[in-house]
Amino acid sequence: MSTASGWEQRFWSPGTPLKWVPPCVFSRWNEVGLILTVLRYLFLALLYVFLILVVRLMFSGLKQEQAIPHRDRQRLHPVRDLQAPRPGGKLVVLTSSDPHLEKGATFYLGEKLTLGRGEKNDLVIMDPFSSQEHALVYMRNDQYWVQDLGSLNGTYLNEVRLERPTVLADGDRLRIGGVTFQFVRWAYEMESGQ
C-alpha cells in the first residue's frame, strides 16, 4: 500500500529518482501566466473606459437640454405679426410643454427652418421628446415641405408620423414632442390643378 499523496502518484513515485527540470521551463510558464494576467487587467481597464464614455455621452444630451445658451433665448422669441417678410407661411404654437414657447407664438418661415433641441436650430424646442436635430420645414417649388430628420420619437403631421418629406397645407398641425404648431399659409393659394 502506497502512502504517497495524489501529487506524488501522478508526477513522482517513491523509489524513482527526481528528474531535473531546467529553470527556464518554469520561468516560461510564469511569463505566460504573467502576460495573461496583464492582458486580463488591460481588457478590464478598456471595458471600464468604454462604459465611462458611453455614460458620459448619454448625459451630455441631458446637460444641453437643461441649459439654454443666451443666444438661443433670442431665437425663441417669436416675431409677433409686425411685418410679414413676404408671401409664405408661418408656424403658430397651439400647445406647448416648453415654457419658452408660449401658446400663440408665431414663427415666420423663410426658405428653410430647422426645429429641434440643439442650439444650432432656427427654432429651439426644449422638450425632452425632441431630438437635437428633429425636423426641417423648407420651401420647394413654391410649396412648404416638412421632413423628419431621423428623430427617435418622430414628427407628426395631423397626428400621422412622417415617413418621408410631405407637403404642408394651410391648417396642418405639426407636432414635435409636446409642442404642436399650426401651419398657416398666406398671400396666395395654389389654384386647383397646379
Together in a domain, 177 and 163 = yes
- Alpha-carbon gap, residue 178 to 97, rounded angstroms: 5
pLDDT of residue 65: 45
CATH number (domain holding residue 159)? 2.60.200.20
Together in a domain, 61 and 75 = no
Average confidence score pLDDT of the chain: 76
pTM: 0.54
Report the pLDDT averaged over residues 75-92.
59
Report the pLDDT averaged over residues 138-154.
89
Across 42-56, 73-87, 158-172, least confident range: 73-87
Would you place residue 26 in the very low, low, confident or very high pLDDT band (cuts 50, 70, 90)?
low
pLDDT of residue 82: 42
Would you place residue 68 in the very low, low, confident or very high pLDDT band (cuts 50, 70, 90)?
very low
154 torsion bin: left (phi>0), alpha (psi -120 to 50), beta (else): left
Together in a domain, 135 and 166 = yes
Would you place residue 121 in the very low, low, confident or very high pLDDT band (cuts 50, 70, 90)?
confident
pLDDT for residue 102 is more than 60: yes
For residue 12, being part of any structural domain is answered with: no
For residue 114, being part of any structural domain is answered with: yes
Please provide the DSSP assignment of 36-94 as one string: HHHHHHHHHHHHHHHHHHHHHHHHHHHHHHH---HHHHHHHSPPPSS---SSSEEEEEE
Work out how many domains the chain is built from and give that number: 2
Report the pLDDT averaged over residues 149-163.
91
For residue 145, being part of any structural domain is answered with: yes
- Alpha-carbon gap, residue 15 to 103, rounded angstroms: 99
Together in a domain, 108 and 61 = no
Q: Are strands 173-176 and 143-148 parallel, antiparallel or unpaired?
A: unpaired
Nine cell digits for residue 185: 399659409
For residue 3, being part of any structural domain is answered with: no
For residue 13, being part of any structural domain is answered with: no
Q: Which domain holds residue 28?
A: 19-66
